[in-house]
Amino acid sequence: MKKILITICLLTFLTIGCDTPEQRQARYKLKQEMLDYVTQYSTEKNKQLIREGKIAIGMNAVEVIVSIGNPRDKNKSTGVWGEHEQWIYGYGTDRRYLYFENKILTSWQD
């Protein structure tokens, strides 16, 4: 929990000069809501993984974002089966791809 708070504070500090006060307030509120969600609804196993900055199959999108941050890009497709998303982290040869089905992490590729 402490690591999550430190990460959120650091991210807020790094982006503080780029936003208006309203945007900062909205970003802070969203981060707080995400942290509250994880605190209330995540399993103890997922909370531990989040503290370690790790992910696991079955995590939802909020848990992944709190654990490793926002992706730099997303690709989304929707069909009768539901919603499929590919989240892209990193650049060049240091890329990581995460795959979600209906907001649940189903696989990833390093």
The strands making up 96-101's β-sheet, listed across from edge to edge, are 73-79, 82-89, 96-101, 104-109
| β 104-109/96-101 pair status | antiparallel
Lowest-pLDDT range of 22-26, 32-36, 82-86, 106-110? 22-26
**Do 81 and 50 fall within a single domain?**
no
| Boundaries of domain holding 19 | 1-55
The answer as to whether 22 is a domain residue is: yes
**Do 49 and 1 fall within a single domain?**
yes
**Do 48 and 75 fall within a single domain?**
no
Lowest-pLDDT range of 4-8, 30-34, 35-39, 86-90? 4-8
The answer as to whether 61 is a domain residue is: no
**Do 33 and 80 fall within a single domain?**
no
Instruction: Encode pLDDT of 1-30 as tens digits.
Output: 556 555 555 555 555 556 788 888 888 888
Instruction: Encode pLDDT of 49-87 as tens digits.
Output: 999 999 999 999 999 999 999 999 999 999 998 999 999
**Do 18 and 48 fall within a single domain?**
yes
The answer as to whether 65 is a domain residue is: no
Model-wide pTM > 0.85: no
Alpha-helix runs per DSSP H in the chain = 2-15, 21-41, 44-51, 61-68
| Total domains, the chain | 2
